[in-house]
Amino acid sequence: MRRRVLSLVAAALAVPATLMTTSTAHAAPADKASVLSSWTQTTPGSQSAWVTARNNRSDWSAYGFDWSTDYCSSSPDNPFGFPFETACARHDFGYRNYKAMGAFGAAKARLDSAFYADLKRVCAGYSGVKEASCDATAWIYYQAVDKLGSVAPSGVTAG
C-alpha cells in the first residue's frame, strides 16, 4: 500500500514538472489535438505557425508530434522549379499525426485543402504564364492527394 501511495505521489509531482518544460510562449492551446488543428488549417497564419514550430521542434517535443516527411512522395518536390516541398512537408505532418491520433478520416479533406492553399500561396509569388503554369501544377498535386491520399496507417503510403 505504501509503495502505491509513493507511486501516486511521484506521478502527481511529475505532471507539474512535465508541464513546466513546455514553453509558455506556446501555452495556448495546451492540448495536442488543438495544436495539431491550429497548424493544419487553410489560412496563411496556420501555415506560418506550423513553419515556425517546425523550425523550433524541440519546443514541441512534449507533444510527441511526428515531423518526418518524404516531401512530395514520388512526385517532384520542385516541379518545373516551383518550390512545393514545404507544402508537402506540412501535408505529411497532418497526415501522419492525424493517423497516429486515429482521426485521419475526419481531417483528410481539410488537410488536402490546406495543402492546396499552401501550393496556391507558392504560385501567388509568380505572375503571367508562370503563375498559370504553377496553378495548373498545384491543381494536379491537389487532385492526386484528394483522390489518392491514403487512409492506411501512418507511414504506409504517401501523405
Q: Identify whether 26 is a catalytic site residue.
A: no
Which candidate in 36, 90, 91, 104 is catalytic?
Answer: 91
Given the C-alpha cell 504564364, which residue does it identify?
129
Report the candidate in 32, 140, 129, 34 with the shortest Cα–Cα distance to residue 84.
140
- Using only C-alpha atoms, what is the Rg of the chain? 19
Report the candidate in 28, 32, 26 with the shortest Cα–Cα distance to residue 52.
26
The kind and range of the H/E element at 136 are helix 128-148
* Nearest-angstrom CA–CA distance, 142 and 69: 17
Question: Which residues, 6+ apart, have CB-to-CB distance to 122 below 8 Å?
Answer: 82, 83, 84, 87, 134, 138
Any idea which residues carry the catalytic annotation?
91
